[in-house]
Structure 1
Amino acid sequence: MTSTATPSCTAPAPPSPLTGNPASAPPYPPGAPGLAGLAALEARLAQDLAWLELPPPAWVPPSQRDGLPVLDVAVIGGGMAGLTAATALRHLGITAVIFDQAPAGFEGPWATTARMETLRSPKTLTGPALGLPALTFRAWYEAQYGVPAWEALDKIPRLQWMDYLRWYRKVMGLDLRNAHRLSGLRPRGDGVVALDIANAEGTRTLLARHVVLATGRDGLGGAQVPAFVNGLPRERWAHSSDVLDAAMLAGKRVGVVGAGSSAMDSAATALEANAQRVDMLVRRADIPRINKQKAAGNPGLVHGHQALSDAWKWRFRHYINREQVPPPRGSTLRVMRHPNVRVHLSSPVLKAEMAGDEIHVTTPRGVIALDFLFLSTGFRIDWFAREEFATIAPHVRAWHQRYAPPSGDEDQELHDSPDVGPAFELREKTPGACPGLARVYCFNYPAALSHGAISGDIPAISDGARRLAEGIASALYVEDIDQHFARLEAFSEPEVFGDEWADRLA
């Protein structure tokens, strides 16, 4: 049943940090501070916030439409990007409510579909800390395990990163409503966006002045699934982003399409589940070896990419896409330590079909018989593939409507990327055709062509969140300028009282 009443649910109690969870964190080393150290860190963080006067008092005038209260900002997605965006908004005195469809503590891919042992980013990156030293992963880790343990750590264990994000949510006091799924999004011409939010009680319509889509890699489309699997039974293949019980791969002959990070993670998952054999099918003549993105990671790119010409933006992003990011060395060694894996170079899949109970995969180098196929083929941008975006899909302006690359530099990902504005706001394909579309913000990976990689990956997520929050703060202030001026005129708190100079009057 659909209702237009405001939700009766309240934000769930934040989960406790799972620092002692053996599935996600190592036991405390002897002499490590443990939970006492974490409590001390939380006290320090609280003091830092107090010294910085964060968060400031709320300043956005409350509003209503159709008898409903209107949220300042609704953030869709409670993963790293959503948490950072909501915190940046809160630090500007703006109320943000986060909605995530996952159960509490399982937002994002880290504890669900991700299969790497550790993160790929250097452990020293400050990520979503927003300039607060006590909010960094390093501070969280050292507080519990000590400095020697930090110095011995190579990369951040994936499930410990999830524990850190759970702690981040708790200490930042964020309003994150789990098991709430966006099922509809309708910008209106009267200064609000209507959101249909579904939960266990049904679907309700909420209103927000601004909506941030912090929906991850696949959040503006879905998995990129090649056509060659169309004739295969669905239970015989999976995309690397699918939830999968790895135990079902035991004894199977598994093929993995691709050679990037997710391909290595998928291959390792199969091998560690006792697959009989893993064949990696790589279309290139060699696996990429140099991570070109490392050369582009600097404050100049973070703050300067947005100011580049369209040609330079395309040239940078297309070059990185063309060269491809290699799989991490650790992930590759995780696979290659198994004797029953083979890498087939120059082997794009030409055809995949059932032959009895086997999958026969045809490549230029022959036919390989398999029992299961993993697709590590990335993601696509396709607004029409998501029912929640049905209203806005025909109106979102993409980069191919803005820029035509030179012949030979075509790139489907960049072609489909949304052409977003200075604060990540969506733009209309035809001005005036979808009033209010600019109240929806794309704070996820597909914004990289417009802004650089500051809205989906760990290195510059804080910079992106600040840019987003500052843009929304500016828009809110301008929209309410009459009320702010009226408040200025009505302000009557005296600074001096007249008695200061009473005996000095001539």
Structure 2
Amino acid sequence: MLQDRRDPIGLDALEARLRQDLEWLELPGKPWVPRREANGQTVVDVVILGAGMCGLAAAASLRLLGIDNLRVLDRAPAGQEGPWLTYARMETLRSPKTLAGPALGLPALTFRAWFEARFGQAAWESLGKIPRAQWMEYLVWYRQVMGITVENGVTASNLVPASDDLIAVQTDNAGSLLARHVVLATGRDGLGGAFVPAMAAGIDRRFWAHSRDAIDFAALAGKRVGVVGAGASAMDNAASALEAGAASLDLFVRRTTLPRVNKFTGIASAGVVHGFEALPDAWKWRFLHHVFGEQTPPPRDSTLRVSRHKQARLHLGSPVQALREQDDALVVTTPQGEHVLDFLVFGTGFQVDLSLRPELATVGPHIRFWRDRFTPDAGQEQPELAASPDLAPDFAFQEKQPGLCPALSRIHCFNYPSTLSHGKLTGDIPAVSAGARRLAEGIARRLFVADSALHFARLQAFDTPELQGDEWPATPAPATSDQNAA
């Protein structure tokens, strides 16, 4: 009996289909980058720091192009790369389930293919949005089927130019690697860390955490909890506290209304994906200044997770003005009054701050940011945009003062702070494949040009004949005139 097309086919069948697709496309490409040694050490063509979604997509794109001399490092334990099982606390992903994400144009590599192979088409049709933990399961499978080896528990401690064309990737526990290119696939906080208002500096840490931190929500049962912010992470942390049994939840929001429209989603198109990077600087700034000014609303599902609890209170027009400890509690001052809490979570996002990134201690002072060369029109000032790195077309850093750190151009910023230079290609699911291909093609171009003399020598030495000498039938020579007369 034929199997119902709605039944799950199993991952073995899906993986066989993927192998066939790759074979028909002649992928991965055959390795072509000449191997290299320096100071008695094998040189790695590309070291990727981070094995979350962006790091995996970058590695897979490079491998498909025949660049297989890679090392992928991640400080997290295996299966916990990225935010999905740590500080991401949403129930489901925000993105629609139908997006191809990091599939790189391969239908059998999509989340949908993986899900239907496991659970069947009917289960797919009934699925609303992708559960967060299930997305992580898919990424683990992605890594396996694309042949990406991840070295877990490895932290990069510093990137040091070893020459104009080599980077020494120093690590805490895996020695030092020599790399021709380094990719920073280090996520939302890839050039800094969590942003916490200065007023928290003098407050005991037992009273507060950032949404990026590991938080013991079970310990908040029966407690008075506050959350600062109105973004997705603020709502998800508020919901987590309420679901753990918080006695009360106060959500402090600076704005007088919650943002309701997700601006960038509204204009999503191939034009934005491929055209944003080519915009003049003033237009790039104008687009993102508008988006940042309007802000992105929290997901409706996350907001409903909070509002369904009767002990949750939303305080609009209530920026936190001051904090103080009093009687073994935390007092939060806002324009609307004071609130006594047991614990406060800052859902205040991330900041670019190179002092928080030890791996950039050496090269960081040479990185050129937008503030170093671009002055926005009056009324368009935006500190977060000004702190964006000014990147080359292949996501590479550029020097603040040309000539002082040439190797900087071999470090590629494939994380969220690249948005002003390249658009939303590195921080979210929708366009990550386009970003990974742009990165991989740029690195491939650089590697070929750098080795052009070697490739020319290969061209000269190539001597496999196309013709074997027997293609044209031998024919007798025509008779001469003397022979004819005889």
Band of TM-score, shorter chain:
over 0.9
**Residue equivalent to 1:339:** 310
Q: Is the 8 A contact 1:32 1:145 kept in 2?
A: no
Identify the residue that residue 433 of structure 1 maps to in structure 2: 404
CA contact (8 A) 1:184 1:195 kept: yes
Q: Which has the larger displacement, 395-404 or 496-505?
A: 496-505
Aligned to 1:78: 51
1:292 aligns with 2:292: no
* Shift in Å, 1:296: 2.6
Identify the residue that residue 382 of structure 1 maps to in structure 2. Answer: 353
**Which of structures 1 and 2 has the bigger CA Rg?**
2
Instruction: Output the CA distance in 1 between the equivalents of 2:87 and 2:333.
Output: 28
Secondary structure at the counterpart of residue 213 of structure 2: coil
2:474 match: secondary structure: helix
Runs of 4+ residues deviating >2 angstroms: 30-34, 187-190
Match of 1:211 in 2: 182
Which TM-score applies when normalising by structure 2?
0.95
> What secondary structure is seen at the aligned counterpart in 2 of 1:338?
coil
Q: Which amino acid aligns with 1:128?
A: P
Matches of 1:455 and 1:337 in 2, distance apart?
A: 33
Q: State the secondary structure of the residue aligned to 1:116.
A: coil
**Which secondary structure does the structure 2 equivalent of 1:423 belong to?**
coil
Post-superposition Cα deviations, 1:153-191, rounded to whole Å, max 9, x if no partner, equal 111000000000000001001021111110110123342
Matches of 1:424 and 1:190, distance apart in 2: 18
Deviates more, 1:322-331 or 1:492-501: 492-501
Aligned counterparts of 1:243 and 1:318: Cα–Cα separation in 2: 32
Give, as a single letter, the amino acid of the residue that structure 1 aligns with 2:102.
P
Q: Does the 8 Å contact 2:164/2:405 carry over to 1?
A: no
Unaligned runs of 5+ in 2: 478-486
Query: Which of these residues, 56, 64, 71, is aligned with residue 97 of structure 1?
Result: 71
| Shift of residue 192, structure 1, vs aligned partner | 0.8
2:150 paired residue among 163, 166, 176: 176
Match of 2:82 in 1: 108
- Cα shift readout 1:254-289 (whole Å, capped 9, x = no counterpart): 000001111110100000110110000000001111
Gaps of 5+ in 1: 1-29
- In structure 2, C-alpha distance between the alignment counterparts of 1:31 and 1:81, rounded to whole Å: 32
User: Structure 1-normalised TM-score?
Assistant: 0.92
**Equivalent in the alignment of 1:363:** 334
Q: Which of 240, 248, 256 is equivalent to 2:219?
A: 248
Amino acid at match of 1:430: Q
Quote the offset at 1:502 in angstroms. Answer: 5.2
Question: 2 CA distance for matches of 1:245 and 1:144?
Answer: 33
Query: Counterpart of 2:142 in structure 1: which amino acid?
Result: Y
1:145 and 2:141 correspond: no
**What is the CA-CA distance between 1:387 and the residue it aligns to?**
1.3
Matched, 1:277 2:251: no
Q: Distance in 2 between matches of 1:417 and 1:505?
A: 77
Seq. identity, %: 59
Mapped partners of 1:375, 1:456: distance in 2: 21
Say how many residue pairs are matched. 473
Question: Which residue number corresponds to residue 26 of structure 2?
Answer: 53
Q: 2:17 aligns with which of 35, 40, 44?
A: 44
Tell me which residue corresponds to 2:481. Answer: none
Match of 1:120 in 2: 94
The answer to whether structure 1 residue 460 and structure 2 residue 434 are counterparts is no
Alignment pair present for 1:471 and 2:445: no
1:181 and 1:198 in contact (8 A); partners too: yes
Deviations 1:110-144 (A, max 9, x none): 01111000000111110000000000001111111
CA contact (8 A) 1:397 1:426 kept: yes
**Alignment partners' CA distance in 1, 2:39 and 2:207:** 50
1:347-382 deviation per Cα after TM superposition (whole angstroms, max 9, x unaligned): 000001101211000000000000000000000011
Residue 195 of structure 1 and its aligned partner are, at CA, apart by: 0.4
Q: How does 1:472-487 map to 2 (within 5 A)?
A: 472-487=443-458
CA contact (8 A) 1:126 1:137 kept: yes
Structure 1 residue 149, shift from structure 2 partner: 1.1
CA-based RMSD of the aligned residues comes to 1.4
CA distance in 1, matches of 2:264, 2:220: 34
